[in-house]
């Protein structure tokens, strides 16, 4: 399976600041360990880069792409999505709405960044940066305002979960559509989540 990761989207999950070169290198190192363990091909896309133009580096099983100054990681990932010929073998890791929308149009599954971190924890390959990330997302169950909870949700999330397109998460993979059988999309999602 090929994972395309919106790198800063994952790295800035808990750190609302610039990411250091050391943190970026550690992230790539951890992705390599994960890729070796799971036998996945990983493309890790960063905005900009030191050279100012689009360039890629291969780090064992992880291809690191720096988009340069003329293109964002989001644009690069959306262009890559448009070129995918076998969407069943590709998963996009992001919480970015525009990328999720591109992936949905191309029939490619997206996995929320926090859910991906949960799977990294499950495989025993955790990041020091993400020690406080909860494996389950926060969901608002009622329409009534409860300011401390609402405030916490908005601080922890870029957007409220109900505003996002369908994003894979552990709690979504066990839901049944109408009836007792899983739909084709639910079966596909279950297969992908089992491989993560």
- Structural domain boundaries in the chain: 2-195
Look up residue 172 and give its DSSP letter.
T
Which CATH architecture group holds 2-195?
A: 3-Layer(aba) Sandwich (3.40)
Give residue-wise pLDDT tens across range 57-73.
999 899 999 998 889 99
Give the per-residue pLDDT at 13.
82
Look up residue 174 and give its DSSP letter.
T
Give residue-wise pLDDT tens across range 71-102.
999 999 999 999 999 888 999 999 999 999 99
Higher model confidence: residue 124 or residue 48?
Answer: 48
pLDDT (mean) for 110-129: 70
Q: What residues have CB less than 8 Å from 161, skipping those under 6 apart?
A: 137, 138, 139, 140
Give the per-residue pLDDT at 158.
45
- For residue 2, which of 35, 41, 60, 44 has the smallest C-alpha distance? 41
Higher model confidence: residue 107 or residue 134?
Answer: 107
Give the per-residue pLDDT at 78.
96
Give the per-residue pLDDT at 174.
47
pLDDT (mean) for 160-174: 45
Reply yes or no on whether the pLDDT at 111 is more than 80: yes
């Amino acid at each position: 399976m090929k994972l395309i990761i919106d790198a800063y989207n994952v790295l800035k999950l808990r750190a609302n600041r610039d990411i250091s070169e050391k943190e970026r290198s550690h992230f790539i190192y951890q992705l390599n360990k994960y890729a070796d363990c799971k036998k996945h091909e990983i493309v890790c896309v960063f905005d900009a880069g030191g050279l100012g133009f689009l360039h890629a580096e291969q780090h064992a099983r992880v291809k690191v792409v720096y988009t340069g100054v003329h293109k964002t990681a989001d644009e690069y990932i959306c262009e890559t999505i448009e070129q995918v010929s076998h969407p069943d073998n590709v998963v996009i890791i992001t919480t970015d709405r525009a990328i999720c929308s591109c992936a949905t149009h191309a029939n490619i599954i997206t996995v929320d960044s926090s859910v991906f971190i949960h799977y990294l924890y499950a495989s025993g390959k955790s990041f020091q940066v993400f020690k406080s990330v909860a494996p389950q997302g926060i969901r608002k169950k009622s329409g009534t305002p409860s300011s401390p909870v609402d405030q916490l949700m908005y601080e922890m999330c870029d957007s409220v979960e109900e505003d996002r397109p369908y994003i894979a998460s552990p709690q979504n993979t066990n839901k049944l559509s109408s009836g007792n059988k899983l739909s084709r999309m639910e079966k596909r999602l279950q297969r992908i989540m089992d491989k993560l």
